[in-house]
Structure 1
Amino acid sequence: MFSSLKHQFLLHFIIVLWGFTGILGKLIQLDAVFIVWYRVLFSFITIGIGMLFFRSSFYVCSKKEFIKLFIVGFFVALHWIFFYKSIQLSTASFGILCLSTTTLHVSWLEPLVMGRKLSLTELLTGFIVVLGVFFVSGDLRGQNLSALFYGLFSALFAAFFAVFNLKLTNKNTPYQISFYEMGSAALFITLILFFQGRLSLSVFSISIEDFFWLLFLAVVCTSFAFLAMIFVMKKLGAFTVSLSINLEPVYTIILAVFILKENTLLGGQFYLGAFVIFAVVLANSFTKNYKRKNV
């Protein structure tokens, strides 16, 4: 029993770390593109060091798989860039809530990629979540509209890399997937910065505080959290982990209240809508598990 509680605690600690990544989008005083660039670059390095330490193979079974990993890495980069852009234009709470619409995109994308039947229940769940996000968005003009745009596209890119990763795990280890996707994302963003004329020595001129938060984001919230989640999933099972991950937006919103005082910016309508969205997402997870057990 103590062992199970220990693993549950570690699981929720990891989810809190992931929830904190949204807060860092406000705390780090850099453009969203640079936040993600540092994140994937530092993560690429630390995961590579971890693979050397644990003697994990860097070898990918085929050139085709290698290309797939690189393409998914582009989606990872776009997802995080749009996610942090949404947060910087609005609030951490709103940015993470937009990410809840990933459910809608997965509902139609997974059947196409994995070759399974389209679930009308999942599609309906996704639409309800999207309506919930529009409900909490308030006045959709100017900066608010831009934040919604970036947030919804962040969710779309999140769905792409989540679904395609399902296929990649059949032939590659989680370490290989993460290492090459982080490297691909770093290369992709470097090229963007180069062609925009924004890549110079000045990009390394950042404050000590920003550097600390970037290291924390990459090493603790990304690399450590990823490796620890693999360990926890083996102990608790995929369903327990996937269900608990739905609490990430809740943790982000709670952290945003205490750290960023976002409760002074967001009214009761936002929190009511957020509650409905979380309830729908959790209900969908329980329904999927029930159907799986009764097949």
Structure 2
Amino acid sequence: MISKVQLRLQFLVLLWGFTGVFGKLVTMSALPMVWYRVLIAAVVVFFYMKFRKMDFGVSKNELMKLLAIGGIVGIHWFTFYLSIKLSNISIALSTLSMGALFSAVLEPIFFKRRINLLEIILAIIVSACVAVIFNASPEDYKLGIIIGILCSFLSALFAVLNSTLPKTIKPTKVTLFEMIGGFITLSLIMVVFQPEAISEVIHISWSNLGWLTLLGVIFTAFAQIESVDLLKHVSAFTLMLNVNLEPIYGIILASLIFGDSEHMTPVFYIATGVMLLSIIMNGILKTRFSK
């Protein structure tokens, strides 16, 4: 029988898989969309911490590091939704799976360890799958694929940087200051590079505001707090192994909701499936060999 914890875990991954759908439900461009996402998430986590009477204190060095990582998170989400706008949800989610490849490269650099043979094999398989996806996709989707690859690199980068944070900083506190860092970074990018997006922020429609509130509250703030709580019951490895199901959930949901615009060639689904399977098997084998 499936345990309550496993059901909660699958529900959490389903929530994360659904975030890509908002890239089409929200009709505004990617930058103001993510600006609202981090703002709403920061406000929700702030009031959650106030209600729970949690401590907000961090050192100056910790604060600067959290804000910087938050800036990377904000740009990661921006590139994720930009990839969706330039291609489709399926493309963005499939390229996001490359995060495991970039983690395999970044972790030895940050933690001064040798690259594992399994990680080299993973790198070859994932790179080959992405090359197949790129060649099998329509010409007008290829910029979206490139942006998606950048998105997956940023995903791996902030994950590795988060793992270097002191364990004494509570995850809710990490989330709050990273969302603030994302908000500051995206605000600067908007003012300097895309000032026309300010008009979208000011003249947001009620439907977009509704979708973004849902995205910020349930699919960002709640999902983060739930993931932190689940780590009391499951290992970080179990959580990350299940997170690899996110693209599968997301691609299925996108196909069900948006139909033909999300349907890809059989080659795309085969390459994505091989890539996801190799990532999951890599995680399982590394755990067995480390025992």
Shorter-chain TM-score range: over 0.9
Residue type of the alignment partner of 1:208? W
* 1:108 and 2:105 matched: yes
| Structure 1, 112-121 or 199-208: larger mean CA deviation | 199-208
> In the TM superposition, what is the alpha-carbon distance from 1:237 to its structure 2 partner?
2.1
Question: Which residue of 32, 42, 45 corresponds with 2:43?
Answer: 45
Contact 2:241–2:283 (Cα < 8 Å) also in 1? yes
Structure 2 residue aligned with 1:159: 156
Identity of paired residues, percent? 33
Q: Aligned equivalents of 2:46 and 2:153: distance in 1?
A: 28
> In the TM superposition, what is the alpha-carbon distance from 1:240 to its structure 2 partner?
1.8
* 1:66 and 2:63 matched: yes
Q: Aligned equivalents of 2:174 and 2:234: distance in 1?
A: 22
> In the TM superposition, what is the alpha-carbon distance from 1:171 to its structure 2 partner?
3.8
Q: Aligned equivalents of 1:97 and 1:234: distance in 2?
A: 30
> In the TM superposition, what is the alpha-carbon distance from 1:66 to its structure 2 partner?
1.3
Aligned runs of 1:80-229 on 2, under 5 Å?
A: 80-138=77-135, 142-195=139-192, 196-198=194-196, 200=198, 203-229=201-227
Contact 1:136–1:273 (Cα < 8 Å) also in 2? yes
Q: Aligned equivalents of 1:37 and 1:130: distance in 2?
A: 31
* Distance of aligned partners of 1:94 and 1:147 in 2 relative to their CA distance in 1, 3 Å threshold: same
Q: Aligned equivalents of 1:263 and 1:142: distance in 2?
A: 15
* 1:22 and 2:49 matched: no
Residue type of the alignment partner of 1:221? F
Contact 2:18–2:250 (Cα < 8 Å) also in 1? yes
Q: Aligned equivalents of 1:285 and 1:264: distance in 2?
A: 29
Structure 2 residue aligned with 1:267: 265
- CA deviation string 1:212-256 (max 9, x = no partner): 110111100010011111111211222221111110011001101
Residue type of the alignment partner of 2:147? Y
What is the total number of aligned residue pairs between the two structures? 290
> In the TM superposition, what is the alpha-carbon distance from 1:6 to its structure 2 partner?
1.0
Residue type of the alignment partner of 2:207? E
- SS of alignment partner, residue 168 of structure 1: coil
> In the TM superposition, what is the alpha-carbon distance from 1:73 to its structure 2 partner?
1.1
Contact 2:129–2:271 (Cα < 8 Å) also in 1? yes
Aligned runs of 1:241-260 on 2, under 5 Å?
A: 241-260=239-258
Residue type of the alignment partner of 2:173? Q
| Structure 1, 259-268 or 110-119: larger mean CA deviation | 259-268
* Distance of aligned partners of 1:245 and 1:33 in 2 relative to their CA distance in 1, 3 Å threshold: same
Gaps of 5+ in 2: none
* Distance of aligned partners of 1:48 and 1:143 in 2 relative to their CA distance in 1, 3 Å threshold: same
Residue type of the alignment partner of 1:261? G
Q: Aligned equivalents of 1:241 and 1:158: distance in 2?
A: 16
Gaps of 5+ in 1: none
> In the TM superposition, what is the alpha-carbon distance from 1:120 to its structure 2 partner?
2.8
- SS of alignment partner, residue 97 of structure 2: helix
Q: Aligned equivalents of 1:178 and 1:266: distance in 2?
A: 35
- CA deviation string 1:242-288 (max 9, x = no partner): 11111001100110110111476311111111111111011011112
Contact 1:32–1:84 (Cα < 8 Å) also in 2? yes
Contact 1:91–1:262 (Cα < 8 Å) also in 2? no
Q: Aligned equivalents of 2:115 and 2:254: distance in 1?
A: 36
